[in-house]
């Protein structure tokens, strides 16, 4: 996807710098928090070429000069879903991302249940 430069500049006005979580490598810079609209999952969304796309994917593609395949998921290594800083994003397969999510939920004592519910405990 090739985004016109003026549109990219305009999109940039919708992010605000925010300190990355404690312990996150400071050389990777602050989080670029999306301040525009968000989807129901908490990811920023932006209209590009007439359709809504995830803001962090738009930033990653524009700044890395790559076209992500739908099967390529961007993992927020800073764990901030609204973050659009490409230095905080890593390409993973959707299966690997799901496994990471399950591991994180286990670590915090919340297990995924079918139909979108959650339960706390072991």
What part of residues 78-97 is at the interface with Zn ion (CB under 5 A)? Answer: 78, 80, 83, 85, 88
Residue with tokens 């072991």: 122
* Gap between the Cα atoms of 107 and 62, Å rounded: 34
For Zn ion, give the closer residue by CB, 46 or 85: 85
* Maximum C-alpha span of the chain: 51
Q: Which is nearer to Zn ion, 7 or 28 (CB)?
A: 28
Beta carbon of residue 27, minimum distance to Zn ion (angstroms, whole number)? 13
| Binding pattern for the stretch 40-79 against Zn ion, x by CB under 5 A and - elsewhere | --------------------------------------x-
Tell me if residue 73 falls in helix, strand or coil: strand
Of the listed pieces 28-36, 94-102, 103-111, 114-122, which binds Zn ion according to CB under 5 A? 28-36
- Residue reference for tokens 């300190």: 19
Beta strands in the chain (DSSP E): 15-18, 31-34, 45-48, 51-54, 72-76, 89-93, 110-112, 118-120
Number of residues binding to Zn ion, judged by CB under 5 A: 6
For position 31 contacting Zn ion by CB under 5 A, the verdict is: yes
- By the criterion CB under 5 A, which residues form the site for Zn ion? 31, 78, 80, 83, 85, 88
């Amino acid at each position: 996807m090739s985004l016109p430069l003026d549109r990219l500049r305009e999109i940039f006005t919708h992010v605000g710098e925010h300190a990355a979580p404690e312990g996150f490598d400071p050389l990777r810079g602050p989080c670029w928090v999306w301040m525009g609209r968000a989807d129901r999952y908490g990811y920023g969304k932006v209209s590009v070429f007439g359709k809504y796309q995830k803001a962090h994917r738009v930033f990653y593609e524009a700044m890395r000069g790559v076209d992500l395949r739908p099967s390529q998921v961007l993992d927020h290594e800073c764990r901030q879903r609204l973050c659009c800083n490409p230095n905080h994003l890593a390409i993973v397969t959707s299966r690997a991302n799901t496994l990471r999510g399950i591991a994180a939920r286990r670590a915090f004592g919340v297990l995924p249940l079918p139909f979108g519910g959650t339960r706390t405990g072991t």
